[in-house]
Amino acid sequence: MLPADEGRGFIKDGVEYKVGDFLYVHTDTFDVEASSEEEEGSDEEDEDKENKAVPAYVKKGRFHKGSCAGLRAWGMARLVEVKEAGSSSRGKDKAAALPAKLRLQRFFRPEDVGKEQAYQAGFWDVYASPAPASASSSEGWVHWVEPDSVICKCCVKAPGADTPAGCEDLDCFEVVGTFNPATKEVSAAPEEFSAASADMQVDGAAAAETDNSLAMATMDIFAGCGGLSEGMHQAGVADTKWAIEYEQPAADAFKLNNPEAAVFCNNCNVILLAAMRKAGLESDCEACDDAKTAAESMSPEDLAALPQPGQVEFIMGGPPCQGYSGMNRFNKGNWSMVQNSMVMSFLSYADFYRPRYFLLENVRNFVSHNKSFTFRLTLRTLLDMGYQVRFGVLNAGNFGVPQSRKRTFIWAAAPDEGLPEWPRPRHVFRSPQLTVNLPGGVSYCAVDTSIPGAPLRTVTVRDAIGDLPNIQNGHDKDPMPYSGPAVSAFQKLMRHKASELRDHICKEMNELNLERCRCIPKDTPGADWRTLLEIVKNDPSREKFNGQPLVPWCLPNTADRHNGWRGLFGRLDLAGHFPTSTTDPQPMGKVGQVFHPNQDRIVSVRECARSQGFPDHFFFSGNVHSRHRQVGNAVPPPLAASLGRQLRKALAATQQKRKATLLW
């Protein structure tokens, strides 16, 4: 341990820091000191890029679609020394006494050590730096920094050791070795961080048993295959007893994953009418003749399974979003308008059952569609029912999903319940458009985006699917064995309960699109349909393939009106992230980046499921098109679990408050 005066410390933003504490610091804190070391290898890297056959249009772009370039997790360090107390120059509290300088011992993340170490490491693995030669040493891992570099506290401990007292609410990392940045050598962890147990698993991916003591009787409406329920179950806040889903394959999948739940495959208006009849409240319901006829034809078993008011504690769901989604090119059609009206049907369930909690999920554009009329009407309706309401936009990529997926959430809590706070981003991700613009020029953002970075690095395409076996265009063998062990922490988490690989099947492309796919260079991030243009330009004999144009006519002729159709016929970047998962991955779709990074095929159902964070033991149902639809319509379980953990905190706080009231 570095020598230090244990009597020194400081207070910043109301938090007390003492010598020996572990800290997060801004991503660029150690850049100046490290720049000379990095410059040595930069020339070689630039030369490699120049030598590689990268299309000119890729070189010109700053970032390609799905790029994670420039994204870094926060730096980590231990406070060694506090020097020359002064006043804050940038802090919020100008009167607070802050030191002029802090001396920090840097700790290294696996991505600081190398790409392979990052790929194989656990989520919470770190490397210590070597012990200094003396107390006054200034090696490349001991730095003097400004106090404004400090973000907040974290915790570092030995693998398998108990969390230190006072650190229960902090992010906790485990030291798995020592890294010397001068020699690039990795050695055993320092003695103070030696493993507490030789057989302790330290891959960072082990799943703890879920505590269901706070789980509420839950109804999942517009349930799909059950992504929202899966995440809430992982958080231990939901016991999904009832689910409503209109599409039969999705309803079948939900039942496979939740065999104890009553799953109603019907229109939600029909189910609500039947429930109100059962409760003797049919006179309060206005329904069309078709709904009345359908309700009368429901089976006795389904009618018996319908819950009564007072039995449902938590209602959650994602009403159809076709009319709001930017992924839908035809969102002005009659069917989209009908689907949009389902939002009001969803709110009617809250009015009838009056659950303790209500959660609505929808696409990012829900907050702005139709001049925000539907969004504002939803908030007003819930407020008029007496609920407390909170809304925000989150990106699943910030919560351990290897995909950009921005979604609107609206929480409602009964008057005597606590509203859940928004989860803090865990993984660094490029997340624009999270701000909601309110009347009067006011803007609101559910998460703090003022500080670049996050506690953990981005989960990449390689992290997600690097362990899956090679398959061919149109592969339909299901299930199949894994071809090797899980490597990354994400893969281990996904395979935790799986004994075989299911749903690793893919759509079959016709010969023309397969040839186009073969033309897109592998392991060349950013390459897309424009490569086809270059091929034809350099070799006019390839203008046609089997009598059809190699370059789709519409792409070059309408590119100026559609952002160059960037990404269409593109491959995924192993070091990047997935684009937003859709219900029908195809190279000419709105999200056309659907080719495997180094195989000539469209991504498989399981690969798309991994991009959403579905564990490998999760079932999908129907043909390959139905399964893709179930995946693309779902809420990513890790995002749902993050929301659920915040709900759990609110439930626990309310429980404690009620116990205290009884004792009083």
At 611-623, the pLDDT tens digits run: 999 999 999 999 9
Q: Classify residue 495: in a domain, yes or no.
A: no
Q: Classify residue 165: in a domain, yes or no.
A: yes
Please name the helix (run of DSSP H) or strand (run of DSSP E) that holds residue 173, with its range, or none: strand 172-180
- Claim to verify: residue 167 and residue 315 sit in the same structural domain: no
Identify the domain boundary among 137, 159, 193.
193
Tell me, what's the pLDDT at 54?
75
Q: Classify residue 252: in a domain, yes or no.
A: yes
Tell me, what's the pLDDT at 83?
85
CA diameter of the chain: 87
Identify the domain boundary among 446, 478, 501.
446
- Claim to verify: residue 185 and residue 252 sit in the same structural domain: no
Tell me, what's the pLDDT at 528?
95
CA atoms of 120 and 492, how far apart (whole Å): 10
SS3 4: coil
Q: Classify residue 225: in a domain, yes or no.
A: yes
Indicate whether 168 pLDDT > 60: yes
- Claim to verify: residue 263 and residue 395 sit in the same structural domain: yes
User: SS3 sequence, 77-114?
Assistant: EEEEEEEEEEECCCCCCCCCEEEEEEEEEEEECHHHHC
Tell me, what's the pLDDT at 440?
82
Residue 254: what are its φ and ψ, rounded to 5°? -60, -40
Indicate whether 337 pLDDT > 60: no
Tell me, what's the pLDDT at 662?
80
Residue 150 exposure: Cα atoms within 13 Å on the Cβ side:
34
Instruction: Note the helical H segments in 300-431.
Output: 300-305, 334-340, 342-353, 373-384
Residue 559: what are its φ and ψ, rounded to 5°? -60, -35
With CA atoms as reference, report the closest residue to 577 among 458, 492, 493: 458
Number of alpha helices (DSSP H) and beta strands (DSSP E) in the chain: 20, 21
The residue that leads in pLDDT, 503 or 592, is: 503
Residues 6 or more apart whose CB falls under 8 angstroms from that of 31 comprise none
Q: Classify residue 54: in a domain, yes or no.
A: no
Q: How confident is the model at residue 341 (pLDDT cuts 50, 70, 90)?
A: confident
Q: Are 629 and 554 in contact (CB under 8 A)?
A: no
Q: What's the token pair of residue 569?
A: 């016929």
**Looking at 4-13, 368-377, 574-583, which range is the least confident one?**
4-13
- Claim to verify: residue 140 and residue 264 sit in the same structural domain: no
Percent of the chain past pLDDT 90, that is, above it, reads: 73
What is the mean pLDDT of the segment spanning 146-171? Answer: 93
- Claim to verify: residue 174 and residue 220 sit in the same structural domain: no
The residue that leads in pLDDT, 196 or 94, is: 196
- As for how many domains the chain has, the answer is 2
- Which residues are known to be catalytic? 321
Percent of the chain past pLDDT 70, that is, above it, reads: 86
Identify the domain boundary among 446, 464, 479.
446
At 29-40, the pLDDT tens digits run: 998 655 544 444
Q: Classify residue 278: in a domain, yes or no.
A: yes
CATH number of the domain that 425 lies in? 3.40.50.150
- Claim to verify: residue 330 and residue 238 sit in the same structural domain: yes
Tell me, what's the pLDDT at 44?
43
Q: State yes or no: cis peptide before 479, omega within 30 of 0.
A: yes
- Claim to verify: residue 121 and residue 231 sit in the same structural domain: no
With CA atoms as reference, report the closest residue to 72 among 41, 38, 36: 38
At 283-326, the pLDDT tens digits run: 888 888 898 999 999 999 999 999 999 999 999 999 986 555 44
Tell me, what's the pLDDT at 554?
94
- Claim to verify: residue 243 and residue 351 sit in the same structural domain: yes
Q: Classify residue 185: in a domain, yes or no.
A: yes
- Claim to verify: residue 130 and residue 257 sit in the same structural domain: no
Task: For residue 549, give Cα distances in angstroms to 316, 515, 516.
Answer: 48, 11, 10
Q: Are 106 and 79 in contact (CB under 8 A)?
A: no
- Claim to verify: residue 106 and residue 17 sit in the same structural domain: yes
Residue 357: what are its φ and ψ, rounded to 5°? -135, 150
CA atoms of 229 and 241, how far apart (whole Å): 10
Q: Classify residue 174: in a domain, yes or no.
A: yes
Q: How confident is the model at residue 155 (pLDDT cuts 50, 70, 90)?
A: very high
Range of the domain at 19: 9-27+72-193
What is the mean pLDDT of the segment spanning 541-564? Answer: 94
Tell me, what's the pLDDT at 135?
54
- Claim to verify: residue 187 and residue 270 sit in the same structural domain: no
CATH number of the domain that 146 lies in? 2.30.30.490
Indicate whether 338 pLDDT > 70: no
CA atoms of 101 and 249, how far apart (whole Å): 62
CA atoms of 657 and 652, how far apart (whole Å): 9
Tell me, what's the pLDDT at 64?
82
SS3 235: helix
Q: What is the mean pLDDT of the chain?
A: 88
- Claim to verify: residue 115 and residue 153 sit in the same structural domain: yes
